[in-house]
């Protein structure tokens, strides 16, 4: 018998019904998850991994975050498995792989669905529909504006502090011919002169949605060496999901990236000041501001002073989003987060051309989902 790669320690099952009445998918997921956790003899706090299916009637996207929020979980690994009838079996090996990779220890794998002629989408059973949308927080602009307002209120940060982030992204984009803002430089005054979209967010502090795509190939370290091609190693990773609705966020001035980044550094045996490149997810300027603070580059509330003390260009002491970031490059939908991965690989391989950082050996890459809700951090490096 070969060595076990993982073990199933608890199960839950709901009695099949031809039709359900007055019950949501989220309620069914909660009940069957409760049964599985009880069967395993665990407390809910022991669950630090979550694998779910792609279809939940109460939400069209951010499914892991919605379920984690509903169940009161804060997993360090969360994902969707979309393999039709193979999803259940596919979850088992993915859970084992995540555990072996050190991303988590105990994974809840859950699938459920109700069946009615018209499935209920009750607003009082999904926090974002009960506590956010009715009060106007129905889109990303409004939600991130709320985070920005909270930071300004708590720490006294200013519009100019945030505008420096967008201006730096536009400056870096001038060395990337593929960037949407290539040939269109903009300074702090340009950002502050752009229209207010959701106070205090200006137009140029918000990503521009564009068409596009990104891809990376991942293989084993041994296979990579055998290919005799320039390659980059994944040295550490961290992940954290804390909520879906901004009204449910544990904090409005710090996010789950703080935990994810710390985990990535612990796995890789590195520190923030070891990084030659900061490839930070930048859907909004407030996202970069909180990431700078959560990564430990400066104290909470001090990102503006930190920005004034550092050069974020490829020639600077703290290169940040040398491709222009999403604020300068553009956001090709979900591939927007992958642009940060691709740029880090380019820099570490020495393929970044005119914007190449000298002697780049380590890079921090971050990803963010929903409203500072779902976080992933990677430490990439070369030997």
**pLDDT digit string (tens) for the chain, length 383 residues:** 456 667 778 888 888 777 888 888 899 899 999 999 998 899 999 999 999 988 787 777 889 999 999 999 999 999 999 877 778 778 888 998 999 899 999 999 998 888 775 544 544 567 887 888 888 777 899 999 999 999 999 999 999 999 999 999 999 999 999 999 999 999 999 999 999 999 999 999 999 999 888 888 788 888 888 888 888 999 999 999 999 899 999 999 999 999 999 999 999 999 999 999 999 999 999 999 999 999 999 999 999 999 999 999 999 999 999 999 999 999 988 778 889 999 999 999 999 999 999 989 999 999 999 899 999 999 999 97
Residue 222 shares a structural domain with residue 371: yes
From CA 284, how far away is CA 262, in angstroms rounded? 22
- Total structural domains within the chain: 2
End-of-domain residue from the set 64, 94, 125: 125
From CA 161, how far away is CA 308, in angstroms rounded? 9
Assess contact for 294 and 302: CB atoms under 8 A: no
Q: The domain that contains 55 carries what CATH number?
A: 3.40.47.10
The verdict on residue 347 lying in a domain is yes
Residue 304 shares a structural domain with residue 377: yes
The verdict on residue 134 lying in a domain is no
DSSP per-residue codes, 67-110: HHHHHT---SEEEE---GGGHHHHHHHHHHHHHHTTS-S-EEEE
End-of-domain residue from the set 80, 100, 125: 125
The verdict on residue 135 lying in a domain is no
From CA 361, how far away is CA 372, in angstroms rounded? 28
The verdict on residue 146 lying in a domain is yes
Residue 62 shares a structural domain with residue 207: no
Residue 81 shares a structural domain with residue 219: no
């Amino acid at each position: 018998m070969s060595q076990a790669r993982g073990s199933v320690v608890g199960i839950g099952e709901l009695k099949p019904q031809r039709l359900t009445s007055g019950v949501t998918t989220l309620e069914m997921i909660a009940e069957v998850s409760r049964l599985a956790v009880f069967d395993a003899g665990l407390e809910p706090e022991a669950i630090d991994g979550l694998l779910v299916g792609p279809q939940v009637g109460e939400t069209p996207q951010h499914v892991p975050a919605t379920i984690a929020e509903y169940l009161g979980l804060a997993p360090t690994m969360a994902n969707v498995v979309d393999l039709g009838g193979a999803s259940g079996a596919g979850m088992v090996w993915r859970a084992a792989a995540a555990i072996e990779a050190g991303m988590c220890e105990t994974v809840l794998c859950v699938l459920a669905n109700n069946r009615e002629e018209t499935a209920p989408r009750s607003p009082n059973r999904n926090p974002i529909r009960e506590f956010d949308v009715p009060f106007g927080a129905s889109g990303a602009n409004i939600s991130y504006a709320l985070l920005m307002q909270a930071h300004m209120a708590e720490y006294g940060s200013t519009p100019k502090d945030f505008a420096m982030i967008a201006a730096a992204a536009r400056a870096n984009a001038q060395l990337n011919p593929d960037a949407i803002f290539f040939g269109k430089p903009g300074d702090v005054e340009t950002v502050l002169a752009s229209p207010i979209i959701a106070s205090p967010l200006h137009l140029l502090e918000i990503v521009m949605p564009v068409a596009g795509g990104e891809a990376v190939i991942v293989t084993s370290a041994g296979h990579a060496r055998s290919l005799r091609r320039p390659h980059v190693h994944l040295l550490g990773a961290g992940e954290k999901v804390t909520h879906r609705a901004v009204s449910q966020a544990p904090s409005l001035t710090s996010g789950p990236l703080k935990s994810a980044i710390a985990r990535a550094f612990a796995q890789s045996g590195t520190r923030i000041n070891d990084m030659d490149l900061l490839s930070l997810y930048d859907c909004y300027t407030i996202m970069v501001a909180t990431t700078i603070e959560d990564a430990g580059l400066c104290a909470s509330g001090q990102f503006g002073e930190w920005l004034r003390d550092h050069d974020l260009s490829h020639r600077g002491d703290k290169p940040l989003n040398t491709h222009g970031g999403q604020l300068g490059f553009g956001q090709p939908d979900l591939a927007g987060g992958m642009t940060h991965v691709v740029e880090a690989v380019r820099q570490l391989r020495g393929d970044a051309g005119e914007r190449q950082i000298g002697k780049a050996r380590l890079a921090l890459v971050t990803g963010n989902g929903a409203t500072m809700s779902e976080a992933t951090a990677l430490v990439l490096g070369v030997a």
